[in-house]
Amino acid sequence: MTNLTTTYLGLTLKNPLVPSSSPFTKKLDTAKQLEDAGAGAIIMHSLFEEEVTAHQKVFASHLADNSFGFAEMDNFLPEPTDYEDVTSQYLKTLTELKSALDIPVIASINGIGSGEWLSVAKDIQQAGANALEVNLYSVPSDTDKTSSEIEKKYLQIVNALKAETTLPLTFKLSDQFSSPGNFVKQLEAAGANGVSLFNRFYQPDVDLDTGQVYPSLNLSNKYEYLRALHWIALLYNQTGLSLGATGGVHNSATVLKLIGSGANVVHTTSALLSTGPSTLTQWQTEIEQWLEEQELELEDFRGRYSMQQLRDPAVFERVNYYQNLQLYRR
Amino acid sequence: MNIPNPITVDGNEAVARIAHQTSDILAIYPITPASPMGEIADLYSSLQQKNLWGVIPSIVEMQSEAGAAGVLHGALQGGAISSTFTSSQGLLLMIPNLYKIAGELTPCVIHVATRSVATHALSIFCDHSDVMAARATGWGIWFSNSVQQAQDGALLCQMFSLKSRIPFIHAFDGFRTSHEISKIDGITREQAAELFPWAEAAAHRARAMQPEQPEVRGTSQNPDVFFQSRERINPIYQNSPAIFTECLAQFERVTGRSYQPFEYFGAADAQRVVIAMGSSIGAIRETVQQLNNAGEKVGMIAVHLYLPFLSEPFIEALPDTTRSIAVLDRTKEPGAQAEPLMLDISLALVKAGKANIEISHGRYGLSSKELTPAMVTALFREMSHSVLNGFTLGINDDLTNLSVDYDSAIHCQRPPGTHQSVFYGLGADGTVSANKNTIKIIGELTDQFVQGYFEYDSKKSGAVTVSHLRFSPEPIHSSYLIEPDSADFVSCHQFNLLDKYDVLNKAKHGATLLINAPFEAENVWLSLPYRTRNQIASKGCRLYAIDAYKLARELGLGRRINTIMQACYFRLSGVLPEQTALDKMKEYTTKTYQRAGTEILKANHDAIDRALERLHQIPVNCEEAEPEQRPDLQTGNTIIDQVVLRAMRGQGNLIPVSQLPLDGSYPTGTARFEKRNLTDRIPVWEPDLCTQCGKCVYVCPHAVIRSKLIAEDSASNAPASFKQQPAKSKAYGAGWLMSYQVSPEDCTGCELCVDACPITDKQNPDRKAINMADKQPLLAQEIDNWEYFLQIPAVEAHQVKTSTISGSSLVDPLFEFSGACSGCGETPYISLITRLFGNRMLIANATGCSSIYGGNLPTTPYTKNTRGEGPAWNNSLFEDNAEFALGLRLSADQNNIRARSLLSELAAQLPDQLVDSLLNNPQQTDQQLEQQRLSIIELKQLLSTIEQPEATDLGSVAQYLQKKSIWGIGGDGWAYDIGFGGLDHVLASGKNVNLLVLDTEVYSNTGGQMSKATPTGAIAKFAAGGRSRLKKDLFAHAMAYEDVYVAQVAFGAKDTQTLNAIIEAENYPGTSLIIAYSPCIAHGIDLKNNLHQQQLAVSSGHWPLLRYNPAATANGSNPLKVDYKKPIISIRDYMETEARFSLLKRTHPEAAEQLATLAQEYAWHRFNHYSALANLPAENNSSEEA
């Protein structure tokens, strides 16, 4: 049997299939199904900064504003007696997952504030997480803000987290950086252990009938992996960080392409949501077969299609864009 | 004094603890001031707390007190030990079952926080008219007179009842006892278990209806045996005294506290004795002590066991030396020879051969009127030289001269070490909760006795609270507010209250005064009103100030100043060593805020430390001349001037009997005199951007923003700052200007007008056509502008197109400046209805929020147009509002029939055209309605010239020729629950009654209890674990009648749909029902987001917008219209935005998830279901003959 072992964030995984944050990784029973189906590790559902602070605000406001001083009533909502905040709920789930699963559990947080909420990293470590993925997701709607200011803010988060935890840290990035490679190097210098490429934006849409703007949420399509493939191929061996590929992974061929470009692990959500955890078993079998046919071990195969390994690295650079256009016009 | 098991609780909690421990089943229904007992019991059960026999009591909320009594009866017959809590009308609704339960000799206890029964007016405050109405039922009645006694009485009544088989009403005074916080000796679970009559409880269970021992009960009896059967129970009552005596002895043995049916206090050789029951005993006891200390010989008897009335113990309790007694009843029974306690006492004296004792009797304390030592002293003095029949205490009866005069300067001496503090604050600023916290800290850390009592406002926006705190090394008996010139410490947490209230009135000489003042320390003194400065100086007060709001803002605490002011109190009052108090405060703060995040917790801890840094002593400078006093407002209307305005100024207690309206009728249009100045920011209109859509006017909950058309040629005398612009609608023709104007002193600052404004400045997106701005710089000019605006003639409905938002907004609302919450989701509906139909409108208003902001004295927001017409309003009850509205309809119809008949009789003497017009005007449009109004005026003028009795008769009913618009208004508690039966019946009647349900999805007025309108997944009182059932679909129910107009609307989501629905409903000749979504603070939202929350509710499918118009079938259309689109956001996303849902996710995550799924399915189901119905082809009912 082909050896699919890979190393990610200093963790040895039995294979590179790591389901990303999704409803599957939120509950014990479905997480167990993923493990049984062959997942190498799981990324827990994300604890959102907004969720943590919103909960604190809701609770604080409930405490502060649930007293009205009217003759017939002093308050409206019943006082919550066994109130469990969102962080406690997350940590409780993490503890349960850790005790039930043999594979590594990577916790996940999502936010861009470098303030108090990051102290949760310490609690996550104490609850037994094997690593922490940090989803850096922001929409820089302030047009006066420069890209370097935004990057600086992200690096502050890295520093703040390093002060809270010794867990391996990986950062899930968007591809909307002026120089993604340079930012990855800055993350490495700041103490990150890995990056996951790329985040997906949930962009709002407009309802023409009502004039309302509403959030739209669509699953990834099977071509989205190309963004990750492109940048992982560029970054392979240019950085010591672990590389995770995410977005648009809908079949085992894509997994192989991403590994071949240099990814240590490949994340998937949409395919699992569409077809269920058993997909992982099927992919694992197909990957094993393909590598066997090629007479390769996974580690030997990794990075084979990276920019450094290719005879024609220009395919990953701007000239590739031009050539594609020419092809299209023909 | 050592208290073995000290607990600091209010009366409701003290009772609920015992009731929960000694019941299997608690059937409950919210009613002030008893609601907290049910809520506390529900909380205990939700915490899995068990009763004495190890079972978690089952709590069931019913649709009414009548329902609760039915459940109670059934539960008792099923063998469960069961109880309920109620008050006032609630007890009255239970009376039929009380007879049944007592007739069947079923042990049971009902805990009653006594409250006035509504007569000429509703009152939530205390008297004994409710309990006295139940005295013929056969139930025992035990009165507890303090918080300690309320706890003890709860258990004693259970003992009495189980042992004697006589059910008991356990009565204690609403608010004064139910809401007073006190440190008491708590009955431990072990003590309760020792005292609980286990054998009798088993006997009760054994008597349960069981198929294994079948019996028939509740039979229907005939003249042959009914009477004898009633007499058969006599031995139970005859034997009960021995049982009671045994119970009391047992209770004393276990707890050390002694009770007697009649408890005497005073001189052993007293000559004058006052007899009363309830909390007033405290004031009487203090007075007796003081008079005896001064050498007099007086006494008092506190009646605990009122029924069964035991003459013998009463006579034993009365000193043989008694020459004169005065019996005080806290109820009024018009037409009776005397009130009930007096009648029982006098008969007891006659039977004992003591008819020679002089008996005075009278009334006191109706609706929580204070009874003070000064009044009791006056009574004892009167008793020494006269006999008073039917006297009154505490009021000035200048009409029938029954009141006893008293010297208000008389106070009782307090034990050394007693401390009294008074705090003035707003309901929303946390003053009350801080004071409750203070009481707990002192109660916990010291051996002091503590007492906290809170005066609340009836207004919901800007509600003022006055907290009265007493601490003493001796037990506190003072059952009255802290009196003038008595407080050691006075704190004013809102600077503007110094102007409105005589805050210093309570301060004794040398008292400490703490003020939250929004000024630098050096500017505080001169910023104080002259009256305050003068009082500080003359009373020798020490003055301290802090800018608490500034500090709260700096710390990110918003407008919550409670922690800051509490820290200052502990420093200045000296009631505890400062550091001990502050450490304890931090401990409590940590307990409260740790789950809210470290930032908020730190801010509160910082507030404690930094408050003391910011606290300044202010030098007192008393060399100032008194400024000229502004004369009090006078309107020329006697009732308004003598009653309304005086009550508004806080002088209601001084109004003599003769000046009050005879039957409770008050003039409307009085809210405009209040000028409550609740906000420091007001909206400002920007004419350059405005499109004159009228949405800001439409959504304003307090009708403080108005629009008017102004004739161009009359606009020249406007103040310079008055804004107007050419009217944009072509409908008005040339020569018209438009103005939007805010009443700056009535605005509550809710910001809904700004939120509703659809126009933004393209150059500056932050600027809309209406924006909030600081009030102070604008105040003077905007007062002038408002005054000018009011002088501009208003348009009437017939002059504009009321079917548009902009057109209807031009008509003056006849509902303005209510005391509803800032941003209220209910009031815009009422305001709109009064614009459209107010001049010919009768309103039946169910008890609830809308009756409180609609009709709570001293003022009313209902008002009149310039012709003096406006809504006539009345509140019957909570449960009968639809029926009350139907009564108004039938009456108007009968009068219309009579008027038409008389008109026909007199037709020959009147112009044909006029008679024809009056009889045949369809009155469908605003213009036709106006024509009818003018015709009636013409008719009345002509009738005055006809000297015939019929002409006089017709003159008295001619106004009924005008179509009357009858509205039944109320909340979901009325429509879905307590009044549903009546509402259903009126829907079935087909009569032209319009029913408006202001659906807040909970009982808002009583504090957010679950109703059948409460949606799935929402927490509410009595549903702490989230409502698991689906919300009742009232729309579907009404639609099923097929001839009822029914609409479900949300003004903030689709304003035109609301407007159209209201117009269609009123035009529909049959019964109409409008179910109006009304965001409420009970949803756990900031009401400045009111409109947004309505949009989310509709967009998620939580609140479908629907109309069912039976009239549409006439033209072959489908009567159902689905006015909302397929949900575009998930129910979960909507639920996240309201604490009523989102808190459940934190407390019961699995249930929250399950219920959210259910709610989502229901939202889709309703959308699909109603869409399918609306898309059905209209029925063709015509048949073709073959």
The rounded distance, in Å, linking the Cα atoms of A81 and A108 is 28
Give me the domain span that covers residue A196. Answer: 6-329
pLDDT at B1182 exceeding the cut of 90: no
Helix/strand/coil for B262: strand
pLDDT value of position A212: 65
A71, A79, A210 ranked by CB distance to B456: nearest: A71
Q: Do B463 and A68 touch (CB under 8 A)?
A: yes
Mutate which: B47, B59, B595, B1123, vs A, most A CBs within 10 A: B595
CA B1154 to chain centroid, in Å, comes to 35
- What is d(CA A62, CA A68) in angstroms, rounded to the nearest whole number? 11
CB atoms within 10 A of CB A223: 11
**What does the block give as tokens for B731?**
């409908």
List, in order of start, the domains of chain B with CATH numbers: 6-208+233-253 (3.40.50.970), 262-393 (3.40.50.920), 419-618 (3.40.920.10), 821-906+948-1175 (3.40.50.970)
Residue B1180's pLDDT band (boundaries 50, 70, 90)? low
- The residue among B458 and B290 whose pLDDT is bigger is B290
Please state the rounded mean pLDDT for residues A134-159: 87
Query: Would you state the pLDDT for residue A324?
Result: 59
pLDDT band at A139 (very low <50, low <70, confident <90, very high): confident
Parallel, antiparallel or unpaired: strands B25-28 and B82-86 = parallel
Nearest-CA residue of chain A relative to B562? A64
Write down the pTM of the prediction: 0.89
Q: Is A299 left (phi over 0), alpha (psi -120 to 50) or beta?
A: alpha
Alpha-carbon span B1088 to B1090, nearest angstrom = 5
Specify the pLDDT at position A15: 96
pLDDT at residue B1183 in the model: 45
Q: Report the distance separating Cα B633 and Cα B42, nearest Å.
A: 49
Residue A1 maps to a domain: no
Q: Are strands A169-173 and A131-135 parallel, antiparallel or unpaired?
A: parallel
Listed range (A135-144, B418-427, B833-842, B1125-1134) with the worst mean pLDDT: A135-144
Structure-block tokens of residue B680: 């420091």
Q: Is residue A251 part of a domain?
A: yes
pLDDT at B94 over 80: yes
Which residues of chain A neighbour B1149 with C-beta distances below 8 Å?
84, 89
What per-residue confidence (pLDDT) applies to B710?
A: 93
How far apart are alpha carbons B392 and B383 in whole angstroms?
Answer: 13
Catalytic residue numbers of B, as ranges: 32, 65, 115, 1005
Answer yes or no: do A68 and B431 touch at CB < 8 A: no
The answer to whether residue A110 is domain-embedded is yes
**DSSP reduced 3-state for B749:** coil
Residue B1184 pLDDT grade (very low, low, confident, very high; cuts 50, 70, 90)? very low
CB-CB neighbors (< 8 A) of B425 in chain A: 69
CA distances from B597 to A60, A90, B759, B1148 (A): 8, 15, 38, 20
- Partner A, chain B 571-630, Cβ-Cβ below 8 Å: 592-593, 595-600
Side chain identity, residue B142: W
Q: Would the pLDDT of B74 be above 90? A: yes
Whichever domain contains A276, its CATH number is 3.20.20.70
Whether B1008 and A89 lie within 8 Å, measured CB to CB:
no
Q: What is the pLDDT of residues B2-52, one digit of tens each?
A: 799 999 999 999 999 999 999 999 999 999 999 999 999 999 998 899 999
pLDDT of residue B186: 98
- A214 Cβ contact list (under 8 Å, min separation 6): A204, A205, A206, A207, B1099, B1128, B1129
Q: How far apart are CA A6 and CA B74, in angstroms?
A: 70
User: What's the pLDDT at B804?
Assistant: 96
Judge whether residue B525 has pLDDT over 50.
yes
Of B200-204, B364-368, B732-736, B1027-1031, the least confident: B732-736
| Residues B711-734, mean pLDDT to the nearest whole number | 89
Report the alpha-carbon angle B1020-B1021-B1023, nearest 5.
65
Question: Per-residue confidence at B556, pLDDT binned at 50, 70, 90?
Answer: confident
From B148-152, B444-448, B623-627, the region with the lowest mean pLDDT = B623-627
Residue A129 has pLDDT above 50, yes or no: yes
pLDDT, residue B937, reads 97
Does residue A151 form part of some domain? yes
Do the Cβ atoms of B425 and A69 come within 8 Å? yes
Nearest C-alpha in B relative to A53: B597
Backbone dihedral angles phi then psi of residue B315, each to the nearest 5 degrees: -65, -35
| Residue B1065 CA: distances (Å) to CA of B652, B703, B761, B1058 | 41, 23, 38, 10
Place of tokens 């009414």: B64
* Shortest Cα–Cα distance, A99 to chain B (Å): 20
Please check whether residue A218 lies inside any domain of the structure.
Answer: yes
Binding annotation of B for thiamine diphosphate: 65, 826, 849, 971-974, 1000-1005
- CA nearest A77 in B: which residue? B1020
Cβ-defined contact of B457 to A71 (cutoff 8 Å): yes
Q: Residue B27: what are its φ and ψ, rounded to 5°? A: -95, 125
Closest by alpha carbon to B481, among B466, B501, B492, B459? B466
Chain A closest-CA separation from residue B465 CA (Å):
6
Q: Is the peptide bond before B196 cis (omega within 30 degrees of 0)?
A: no
- CB-based contact (8 Å) between B1004 and chain A? yes
**What pLDDT, on the 0 to 100 scale, is given for residue B288?**
98
Q: Is the pLDDT reported for residue A318 higher than 90?
A: no
Q: Is the pLDDT of residue A326 over 70?
A: no
- Chain B hits for A76, CB-CB cut-off 8 Å, are 1002, 1004, 1007-1008, 1021, 1080-1082, 1084
Residue A115 maps to a domain: yes
Residue A113 distance to chain B (closest CA, Å): 14
**A126 within some domain:** yes
| pLDDT above 60 (res A267) | yes
Please answer whether residues B332 and B366 qualify as being in contact, where contact means their C-beta atoms are separated by less than 8 angstroms: yes
The rounded radius of gyration (Å) of the Cα atoms in chain B is 32
C-alpha atoms less than 13 angstroms from C-alpha of A300 in its C-beta half-sphere: 8
Residues in A lying within 8 Å of B, measured between beta carbons: 52-56, 58-86, 89, 116, 119, 207, 209-210, 212, 214-215
Distance from CA of A209 to the nearest CA of B (A): 9
Q: From CA B53, how far away is CA B197, in angstroms rounded?
A: 12
Which of B860, B462, B839 minimizes the C-alpha distance to B672?
Answer: B860
SS3 A189: helix
A154 within a domain of the structure (yes/no): yes
- Residue B526's identity, in one-letter code, is L
Cβ pair B70, B109 in contact under 8 A? no
Please report which confidence band the pLDDT of residue B740 belongs to, taking 50, 70 and 90 as the band edges: very high
* C-alpha of B512 from chain center: 33
* Residue B1186: pLDDT over 50: no
The total of structural domains in chain A comes to 1
Residue range A81-92: average pLDDT? 80
How many residues are there in chain A? 330
Neighbouring CB atoms inside 10 A of A276's CB total 14
User: Is-contact B191 B159, C-beta < 8 A?
Assistant: no
Please give the pLDDT value at position B785: 97
Give one word for B638, left, alpha or beta, with left for phi > 0 and alpha for psi -120 to 50: alpha
Share of chain A above pLDDT 90, in %: 52
| CA distance linking residue B498 with residue B848, whole number of Å | 31
B428 contacts on A by Cβ (under 8 Å): 65, 67-69
B94-121 burial string, b = 16+ CB within 10 Å, else e?
bbebbebbbbbebbbbbbbbbbbbbeee
How far apart are alpha carbons B1005 and A116 in whole angstroms?
Answer: 39
- Please compute the mean of the pLDDT values over residues B373-391 and round it to a whole number: 97
Say yes or no to pLDDT of B295 above 70. yes
A329 has pLDDT over 60 = no
Is A112's pLDDT higher than 90?
no
Other CB atoms within 10 A of residue B880 CB: 21
pLDDT at B1185: 41
Out of B593, B1125, B1139, the one facing A58 most closely (by C-beta) is B1139
Has residue B625 got a pLDDT over 70? Answer: no
Dihedral angle sign, alpha carbons of residues B181, B184, B190, B192: negative
Tokens of A317: 């650079």
Predicted pLDDT at B1181: 52
3-state class percentages of chain A: helix first, strand second, coil last, to nearest 5: 45, 15, 40
Q: Tokens 């009149």 belong to which residue? A: B864
pLDDT digits 0-9 by tens, B1133-1158: 999 999 999 889 888 888 999 999 99
- Write the pLDDT tens digit of every residue in A227-238: 899 999 999 999
